[in-house]
A and B are shown apart, each in its own frame.
Chain A
Amino acid sequence: MPIRNTDHAWGSINKAFHWILALLIIGMGFLGWYMTWLPNAPGKIKIYALHKSIGLTILALVLLRILWRQFDRRPSELPMPHWQAVAARGVHIALYGVMLLMPLSGWLFNSAGNFPLQWFGLFHVPSLTDGENPALKAIAGITHLILFWVLLVAFVLHAGGALKHHFIDRDSTLRRMLPWGTRAEKSSPPPAMTATHSTPNSSSPTEVKS
């Protein structure tokens, strides 16, 4: 598998970013909900600390991912109706935005609440505010929650779109993102493909064959 993206395949770095972040973020959604229900006890504080440490890790990875993407252009889209391509791009932008803002709002919330912050207990992470700030805390807290719902909607559209490509369009959109699959199946484009409108510069997918 190439390290960098090619015109037809996602490189290993991009795939690693995608799937590590996807797993961490989905895990964080569950962890975030679960932890707020815990009774107030040291165990709760430890789980919060874990949530924050993972969240900061996500922030760092997302920044690296966005940086990497500036140098590694994504493969061209597979043929699909224009509105779908636009929708997919919109959802990708939303996902990038939420991936950045979710941890930032959490960090801000934590700072404005005047809680300490450490990365897995290894080093101190500075506060974004000058001590306690109740008004900002309220805003950051609500933002963190709203962003989570935005994330959820974007994620459903995104994963739903990926599954639609796989099972209905039967193209290689999902397969080429999967960690173990660099290549498309040998099968020729399914009949459904002919019905879709192809843009002039996107001929039928010519994946590298095994």
Chain B
Amino acid sequence: MKTVLLFVLASGFCASAGARDWSTDAAASKLGFSGTYQNEKFEGQFKKFDAVISFDAADLSKAKFDVTVDVASVNTANEERDGSLKDKEFFDFAKFPKAHFVTSAFRKAADGSIEADGTLTVRDKSKPVTLKVKFSEAGDKATLDADTKLNRLDFDVGSGDWKDTSIIGADVLVHAHLSLTAKAG
């Protein structure tokens, strides 16, 4: 009887919170990006990241994404390039091992799509960033696609001589695809 009551209370609490919590299936998820190197597109990804996702399309006011990225897990399929990314002119793994993104507000754009405003911190630079969010839910499962465009120079990724955008372009397109399962409760 007690447990049933607790359960009812708990689910009632969750319902009133208005957002569902989701856990990420790491193997089926990807935090990818693309940039340009010598004017040619290249792709990369962060293999290790931790995403805390609360989302219910019915109540955006309670939605929240909180993502921590292990920057040392970066892979652009080029040994020399990945080697450079650890240096202090780029991510500086030793000093800034994590990048962090947390949302502050979600809204419906004029075209009905969802946008999430948040703050991205890379190295010691924090900047407002807006994600385009696509969330498709089917029962306990959902996929979340989030896209944004960043300027690497805003985050000091490539400082000194590496500010030269003729070698590494300034724009970086980020695309995250998460495969989610609803948390019980």
Residues on B with C-beta less than 8 A from A113 are: 78-80
**Residue B37 at the A interface, CB < 8 A?**
yes
Contact A114 B77 (CB under 8 A): yes
Q: Which of B37, B38, B42, B161 has the most chain A CB atoms inside 10 A of its CB?
A: B38
Contact B77 A131 (CB under 8 A): yes
Chain A interface bracket (under 10, 10 to 19, 20 to 34, 35 or more): 10 to 19
- CB < 8 Å neighbour of B77 from A40, A46, A132: A132
**Residue B111 at the A interface, CB < 8 A?**
no
Q: How far is the CA of A46 from the CA of B42 in the complex (A)?
A: 18
Q: Which of B37-59 contact A (CB under 8 A)?
A: 37-40, 42
Q: Which of B70-95 contact A (CB under 8 A)?
A: 77-80, 84, 87
Chain B interface bracket (under 10, 10 to 19, 20 to 34, 35 or more): 10 to 19
Contact B84 A40 (CB under 8 A): yes
Across the interface, name the chain A residue whose C-beta is closest to B76. Answer: A114
Q: How far is the CA of A43 from the CA of B39 in the complex (A)?
A: 15
What 1/0 flags go to B120-161 for Cβ under 8 Å of A?
000000000000000000000000000000000000000001
**Residue B167 at the A interface, CB < 8 A?**
yes
Q: How many Å from the CB of B47 to the closest CB on chain A?
A: 15
Which A residues are within 8 Å of any B CB, using their own CB? 40-43, 45-46, 49, 113-116, 118, 121, 124, 131-132, 134, 137
